[in-house]
Structure 1
Amino acid sequence: MVLKMFVRFSIIGLSGVGVNMAVFIPLTALGISYITAALLSFIAAVTNNFVWNLLWTFKGRATNKSLRHKYISFVACSIINLVANLMILQVLVEQFAVNATVAQLTAIGATGALTFALNYVITFSDRRSKCEEATTDEACNYSNI
């Protein structure tokens, strides 16, 4: 089941690259700075990936969390992924003289697994507290602590 989710997550991630570039290229062609274009294309790709992962990869998981909470968690995990990706990319290019394209593909592969794990455990986690699982108020009575 986890492997199936990872494959779906990866497919959606590839579609996110397409969304990213579909936003980035026209914005830069219009004269918008590449940094601004990269930020806007990142937001578009992350939102695309969130929607598809919500509806397909992790369908039915984390029903105890609001859509807003899941989206914020997903974006946070994506930002962690972005930072890790840039660090790996920089090390591979500057320290090991790896071709930038090869380094980027390597970084994407390495961070893709990290991002899946973060979203599986954080964003779309089905874990609930003992209080939420309790059937009596006594289990949630914190005044006895």
Structure 2
Amino acid sequence: ALLIKAVPEDQRLAIAIILVMWISALASSLIDNIPFTATMIPVLINLSQDSDVNLPVKPLIFALAMGACLGGNGTLIGASANVVCAGIAEQHGYGFSFMEFFKLGFPMMVITCMIAMCYLLATHIGLGWNM
């Protein structure tokens, strides 16, 4: 909240969307996204209710959902589907290491998160879809 309060009021929503999106993406690439998301929802609700910040909650929740979902694609352990896929591939003789997955998965995560961030900024800042 301190970082968001430090920027001019007319830029707070954009900064909040960017921060929530990237923090959730990076965290979800390393830890399970369901407990992370469940933990962050009350934090975002409290942030939106802070009278000093005064942000709509909907864009923050969308940023969390997109960041957590897309962030899981960044590493082999980021999503259970990645682990299952690696196990099945290994059984069929196509195993790959954490670093092999990371070299492909992390750049793809960054690209998809950048696209999602642009979409969120365009819709919530540009078009005002905050209700």
Short-chain TM bin? 0.3 to 0.5
TM-score by length of 1: 0.38
Using CA pairs under 8 Å that are at least 6 residues apart, name the structure with larger relative contact order, 1 or 2: 2
* Larger relative helix fraction: 1
TM-score by length of 2: 0.41
Give 1 or 2 for the bigger CA radius of gyration: 1
